[in-house]
Amino acid sequence: MNRTLDITGLTCPMTWVKTKLELERLAPGDRLEVRCAAGEALENVPRSAREAGHEVDVDGTTVRIVRR
């Protein structure tokens, strides 16, 4: 399953809270595309996702995560 999430209007820690909870609803191997604002979210969300063991690819302000 592929999902998209827009967190451009959010600030830390809600950026990762929303992303993490969306990932919890997915099955392993599912993909989540997260639209981030440039800056803090774009730094923190990919890092938090990698630390949680997910596969992460950043393209501009779009963070693509494959749930572990």
Asked whether position 46 contacts another protein by CB under 8 A, the answer is no
Asked whether position 13 contacts another protein by CB under 8 A, the answer is yes
> Closest Cα partner for 19 from 52, 59, 60?
52
Q: Which stretch binds another protein (CB under 8 A): 26-34, 35-43, 44-52, 60-68?
A: 44-52
44 CB-near residues (< 8 Å, 6+ apart): 12, 15, 16
12 CB-near residues (< 8 Å, 6+ apart): 40, 41, 44
Asked whether position 17 contacts another protein by CB under 8 A, the answer is yes
Asked whether position 14 contacts another protein by CB under 8 A, the answer is yes
- Binding region for another protein (CB under 8 A): 13-14, 16-18, 20-21, 24-25, 48, 51-52
